[in-house]
Amino acid sequence: GAGVSQSPSNKVTEKGKDVELRCDPISGHTALYWYRQSLGQGLEFLIYFQGNSAPDKSGLPSDRFSAERTGGSVSTLTIQRTQQEDSAVYLCASSYEALNNYGYTFGSGTRLTVV
Amino acid sequence: AQSVTQPDIHITVSEGASLELRCNYSYGATPYLFWYVQSPGQGLQLLLKYFSGDTLVQGIKGFEAEFKRSQSSFNLRKPSVHWSDAAEYFCAVGPNTGFQKLVFGTGTRLLVSP
């Protein structure tokens, strides 16, 4: 696609429920990244994919968080048993290669609110 | 540990005035440096990046940034601010080889007054 697409754009969920956030990267981009942006905070790295594998998942805050990528394209970030502190904007980005000189292209994010 | 400091949480500038947003980084090697802008409800857009060479880099929308190794700084500047520049600006640092995640600052929110 022309850009990085994320869905849904907004999600309100009840505490304890599971949620899935989707990211559709730019076609041909092999690297995909998930970041979290909480109110008043910078961007917090969650996980990075190269193809379908995740060489770095060090930023996932707990075992309630998981992510997968299939076909070297779409990625899903799943949060199980959501908590209020999970409320944030979840940003996805992709790049042509996993090299910083290509830069990231970000999606518009999914705003998650846990009530 | 890698870190990025943006000391100004908010800055207000009059339209037409000059702008400088500060960014200091801590990094063990020569980094790649980036500035991103985020408008309300939008994702982050790359303004400019520094990899090597000329320490003054030009970006989109009339922005520029200067890399000063001795000061570990990468400040963003614009000579004349427009109302449409009101947004949040993020500085980021990453390694210059292979992949490791970009580390972002906490951002500076720019307000533009008439």
Cα–Cα distance for residue pair A82/B53, rounded to 1 Å: 46
Contact B90, B107 (CB under 8 A): yes
DSSP A9: S
Task: Label residues A6-36 b or e (16+ Cβ within 10 Å = b).
Answer: beeeebebeeeeebebebbbbeebbbbbbbb
- Do residues B32 and B93 lie in contact, with contact meaning Cβ atoms separated by under 8 Å? yes
Distance in Å, alpha carbon of A106 to nearest chain B alpha carbon: 6
pLDDT at B2: 82
Q: How many contacts (CB atoms, under 8 Å) link A and B? A: 62
Virtual torsion, Cα A39, A92, B86, B64, nearest 10 deg: 120
Residue B100 — very low, low, confident or very high, per pLDDT cuts 50/70/90? low
φ/ψ bin of A81: left (φ > 0), alpha (ψ from -120 to 50), beta (otherwise): left
**How close A86 comes to chain B (CA, Å)?**
18
Please give the full DSSP string across B67-96, using - where no structure is assigned.
EEGGGTEEEEEESS--GGG-EEEEEEEEES
What pLDDT shows up at residue A114? 97
**pLDDT by 10s per residue, chain A, length 115:** 579 999 999 999 999 999 999 999 999 888 899 999 988 778 899 999 989 999 889 999 999 999 999 998 999 999 999 999 999 999 999 988 656 566 788 999 999 999 9
* pLDDT mean across residues, chain B: 91
Q: Is the pLDDT of residue B7 over 60?
A: yes
pLDDT digits (tens, 9 = 90+) for A77-107: 999 999 999 999 999 999 886 565 667 889 9
**Residues in chain A closer than 8 A to B32 (CB atoms):** 100-101
For residues A79 and A19, give the distance between their C-alpha atoms in angstroms, rounded to a whole number.
5
Q: Are the beta carbons of B96 and A31 separated by less than 8 Å?
A: no
